Amino acid sequence: MFDLVPFGKRREEAFGQLAKSFGDLFGDDFFAPLKSSTLSIRTDIREAEDRYLIEAELPGFTKDDIVIDYAAPYLTIKAVRKEENTEENSDRQIVRKERRYGEYVRRFYVQDIKEEGIRASLKNGVLSLEVPKRQKPEGTRIEIRDDEQ
């Protein structure tokens, strides 16, 4: 008997299956380096009365890999990874060579901070920043005089 599916529909389904199989074989992780060379950093930000506390996840980075910069009004955290793994056999021929490069960047818009008081520490893959706030000057109350002269 005849199929109830139109002829064109069969081709679309076959193409869809092929595309899905291709997608499963080459998942998003495979194409990730082609999409963007800049990766983001996961952060937690807390605000206290006198400062901001920022914790950024940077596992596997050393303090030499990380640059923290403040150019008003942006605070930027940048971490660069350059890693190569090489295995050679006894004839000094490369059997396997893997490279991993990446630049992680996170930028925050902050105003009214004391840039000279920013402190940073790195422990167990977590970068902690303490960013003190600049105290806003309190206004001065102006007395109204009587116009009696």
With a cut of 80, say whether residue 60 has pLDDT above it: yes
With a cut of 60, say whether residue 40 has pLDDT above it: yes
Per-residue confidence at 31, pLDDT binned at 50, 70, 90? very low
In contact, 73 and 110? CB cutoff 8 Å: yes
In contact, 76 and 69? CB cutoff 8 Å: yes
In our burial notation (b when 16+ CB lie closer than 10 A, e otherwise), range 90-127 reads eeeeeeeeeeeeeebebebebeebeeeebeeeeeeeeb
Closest CA to 97 of 87, 82, 106: 87
Per-residue pLDDT tens digits for 124-138: 999 999 999 988 778
Whole-number percent of the chain with pLDDT over 70:
65
Other C-beta atoms lying within 10 Å of the C-beta of residue 75: 21
Residues 6+ apart with CB under 8 A from 15: none
**Predicted structure pTM score:** 0.59
The pLDDT of residue 76 is 94
